[in-house]
Amino acid sequence: MKAAEIMARLEQKYGHEKEYLQAVHEVLESIEEVYNQHPEFEKAKIVERIVEPDRIFTFRVTWVDDNGNVQTNLGYRVQFNSAIGPYKGGLRFHKAVTPSMLKFLGFEQTFKNALTTLPMGGAKGGSDFDPVGKSDAEIMRFCQAFMLELWNCIGPEQDVPAGDVGVGGREIGYLYGMYTKLARRYNVGVLTGKGANWGGSILRPEATGYGALYFTEHVLNRAGKQLAGSTIAISGFGNVAWGAAQKATALGAKVIAVSGPDGVCHVPAGLTNEMIDYMLVLRASNNNVVAPMAEKFEGVTFIPGKKAWSIKCDIALPCAFQNELNGDDAKELLANGTWCCCEVSNMGCTPEAIKAFQDAGILFAPGKAVNAGGVATSGLEMTQNAMHISWAGKEVDEKLHFIMESIHEACVKYGQRPDGTVDYVKGANIAGFMKVAQAMLEQGTI
Ligand code: 2IT
């Protein structure tokens, strides 16, 4: 295979799907050399098949807002690849959701899920519904209307959605309530990220952020560096940023910045536990702003219109959205002495930013490895549901530790450079790809 030729064909076919093309390009570039050492992959046209989703459901979602106005949104579920297990991946509610965004996320999810060591295929779904400014009742009605269409496409052995941007515990509750009403099936394994009293796994809310910090620790330790005593800038203030801030602080680092679409909160002394808890309040308010943190707490300065990357830090942890850290941001971070960036959001860095980090020789790890603890703990939730049991937090945390260590080892195995350093982008892409490709090969031409 020639990555450039395949990209040219995809660009012709899906020219307007920028995020999807960006995600595919990064993977193909990483795997080209290894792929070409496997003529059996070429014969089975694995790469041509793996870049296309198995199927995409698109549906209209109509609901009534608090003023009695009828609203219409679009809903989607992209079932990307089921070679290693049932479809698995989150739902994103955000005004900018398009098929391109969900195809990129479903594609990434396929390789990420393969890295977790658990048998889960890749999927993603969501809607262009904008939760900002909506009331709780509106969120509930939207979730119910969304599930009215989705329920028939999912199931514990077919496709298991979870949360993502704009979908947290509250939304999963409303979605699950409507699912059981429509399907008359009471298998809690149909969604993950549920409440702890009705089939949810202890530690699932924290898992993405915790796992990201466990992975970051491995990256640092391998390079002879320490997390304790370092300063960290985090973008976002949602579920993922919250878990990351909690664990980073517990491990002795100082989180000196959190940000939102409105600007960045600079906290030179580091976030306190009260501030970290307050991130949840900010998220639940549906206002999508971080500025109130500076009004509520001493020692917090709000800088409007600025990103977290404008704050001098040792480690940058993008925890919000794709392409939230661009080439200019990378240059600013490097100029300020940043020596590590671990993507916690999916595709949080633009290709220019990744190149800048890699050219500068600083530590960089991609989202599909760093944030895989979230979906891995979803996988553990599925196991608990299938066994009708609930593990203690300690047990889930131990398994999460083990999984993040395994992912790190896989990245080192496939990404080690001749000088002993690790290209985590290449390592994660090859490790994930090899597993899915091998499974597709063994299952025949389907
Ligand atoms: O991007 C992700 O891995 C998620 N949003 C979590 C997916 C899941 O099924 O837990």
Residue with the smallest CA separation from ligand 1 atom 3 is: 375
Domain end: 133, 159, 187, which one? 187
Q: What is the 110 CA–ligand 1 centroid distance (Å)?
A: 11
Residue 171 sits in the same domain as residue 226: no
Distance between Cα 230 and ligand 1 center (Å):
28
Catalytically active residues, by annotation: 124
Please indicate, yes or no, whether residues 160 and 14 belong to a single structural domain of this protein: yes
Same domain as 349, residue 222? yes
**What span, in angstroms and rounded, lies between the C-alpha atoms of 122 and 55?**
12
Ligand 1 pocket, 377 CB below 6 A? no
- Angle, alpha carbons 402-108-313 (nearest 5°): 70
Looking up residue 322, the CATH number of its domain turns out to be 3.40.50.720
Are residues 353 and 209 part of one domain?
yes
Three-state SS string across 88-143, please? EEEEEECCCCCHHHHHHHHHHHHHHHHHCCCCCCEEEEEECCCCCCCCHHHHHHHH
Are 143 and 288 within one domain? no
Note whether residue 396 is domain-resident.
no
For 369, residues 6+ apart whose C-beta sits below 8 A from its C-beta are: 112, 115, 215, 407, 408, 411, 424, 427, 428
Tokens of 233: 């800038």
| Pair (261, 128) in one structural domain | no
User: How many helices, marked H, and strands, marked E, lie in the chain?
Assistant: 17, 12
Q: Do 47 and 170 reside in the same domain of the chain? A: yes
Asked, for residue 439, whether it belongs to a domain, the answer is no
134 lines ligand 1 (CB under 6 A): no
Q: Sign of dihedral through CA atoms 95, 96, 99, 103?
A: negative
To the question of pTM greater than 0.95 for the whole model, the response is: yes
Do 182 and 256 lie in a common domain?
A: no
Task: Kindly state if the Cβ of 346 falls inside 6 Å of ligand 1.
Answer: yes
**Would 148 be classed as within a structural domain?**
yes
193 within a domain of the structure (yes/no): no
Q: Is the CB of 378 under 6 A from ligand 1?
A: yes
- Domain total in the chain: 2
Q: Is residue 280 part of a domain?
A: yes
Q: Tell me, using a 6 A CB cutoff, whether residue 90 lines ligand 1.
A: yes
Domain span at 36: 3-187
Mean pLDDT of successive 10-residue segments in the chain (446 residues)?
95 98 98 97 97 98 98 98 98 98 98 98 98 97 98 98 97 98 97 98 97 98 98 97 98 98 98 98 94 98 98 98 98 98 98 98 98 98 98 98 98 98 98 98 97
Residue 282 domain flag:
yes
Give the integer Cα–Cα distance in Å for 244 and 343: 11
Is residue 164 in contact with ligand 1, taking CB distance under 6 Å? yes
CATH number at residue 125: 3.40.50.10860
Q: Would you say residue 412 lies in a domain?
A: no
Which pLDDT belongs to residue 83?
Answer: 98
The pLDDT score that the predictor gives to residue 1 is: 85
- Of 116, 378, 400, the one to substitute when testing ligand 1's pocket (max ligand atoms within 8 A of C-beta) is 378
Nearest ligand 1 atom, CA 92: 5
The DSSP symbol for 220 reads H
Select from 361, 377, 397 the last residue of a domain. Answer: 361
Contacts of 250 (CB under 8 A, 6+ apart): none
Q: Which amino acid is it at 89?
A: G
Cβ atoms of residues 253 and 277 within 8 Å = no
Whether 260 is covered by a domain: the verdict is yes
Q: Are residues 227 and 179 in the same domain?
A: no
pLDDT at 67: 98
What is the Å distance from ligand 1's center to 105 Cα?
A: 9
Strands (E) located in 283-400: 301-304, 315-317, 340-342, 363-365
Is 217 found in the same domain as 129? no
Cβ–ligand 1 contact at 368 (below 6 Å): no
Q: Point out the domain boundary residue: 329, 361, 393.
A: 361
The amino acid sitting at 270 is: G
- Ligand 1 pocket, mutate which of 190, 375, 381, 403 (most atoms under 8 A from CB): 375
183 and 210, same domain (yes or no): no
Q: Based on the fold, state whether residues 27 and 139 are members of the same structural domain.
A: yes
